[in-house]
Structure 1
Amino acid sequence: MKQPCVYMLASQEYGTLYVGVTSDLIARLYQHRTGGVKGFTARYGVNRLVRFEQFETMLDAISREKQLKRWHRQWKINLIESENPRWADLAPSLGLPPLPSP
């Protein structure tokens, strides 16, 4: 899936949230899930894809990422729940294996 997009990850339902941008969502998710991305997401176990938006250009995706990063936490939760009320991991619908059960 080589297309600019903004994605939101969560550690669990109502858990720690992360907003990122990428041009290859599948590859980026794989990095998050296998520990290839050091830092915040690895430290807090944030690897469940709960929302993503695709864009025509990377500039549009970066602009949206910056907007979402300025949002209050509750606004982000409301956005996630507007399309994914159960906080399901969306990565399997993109072809990645499901996360192991806790």
Structure 2
Amino acid sequence: MLNTQIGYHSYYVYIITNEHRSSFYIGVTNNLRKRLAKHKENIDLNISSFVAKYNIQFLVYYEKFTWIQEAITREKELKKWRRDKKIELIKNFNETF
């Protein structure tokens, strides 16, 4: 029997924000939990980055993809969106936002 999972991976496009929801960071990763931990570590270590500068650490949105190119395309698309459109997307996904 053919294993359809061989060669397939999971990639995530995600949006994180700060406590005041004043800034968003959009990224792509193949390990969401590990990437979020790395963002938090950079904040704790005061490493110079956009995420650390604005204390962005709260996951508010994500999408899962099988193919990295699809995830990168979606990340680029979301980064071009106006803030209000991003907020609408987040609210439709995350009712507590």
The runs of 4+ residues in structure 1 deviating greater than 4 Å are none
Residue of structure 2 equivalent to 1:100: none
- Alignment match, 2:84: 74
**Is 1:16 paired with 2:23?**
yes
What TM-score do the two structures reach when normalised by structure 2?
0.81
Structure 2 residue 90 is the aligned partner of structure 1 residue 61: no
Show structure 2 runs of 5+ residues with no match: 1-8
- Distance (Å, rounded) in 1 between the aligned partners of 2:76 and 2:57: 20
Greater radius of gyration (CA) = 2
Output the aligned Cα RMSD: 1.6
- Partner amino acid for 2:38? Q
Native 8 Å contact 1:5 1:25 kept in 2:
yes
Aligned identity (percent) is 36
Whole-angstrom CA distance in 1 between matches of 2:61 and 2:41: 19
SS in 2 for 1:45: coil
Contact 1:5 1:53 in 2 (8 A): yes
SS at match of 2:88: helix
How many residues matched? 86
Cα distance per residue 1:34-66 (max 9 Å; x no partner): 217741001100010000000011100000000
Distance across 2 between alignment mates of 1:56 and 1:22: 12
Query: Distance in 1 between the 2:42 and 2:18 partners?
Result: 14
Q: State TM-score, norm by structure 1.
A: 0.77
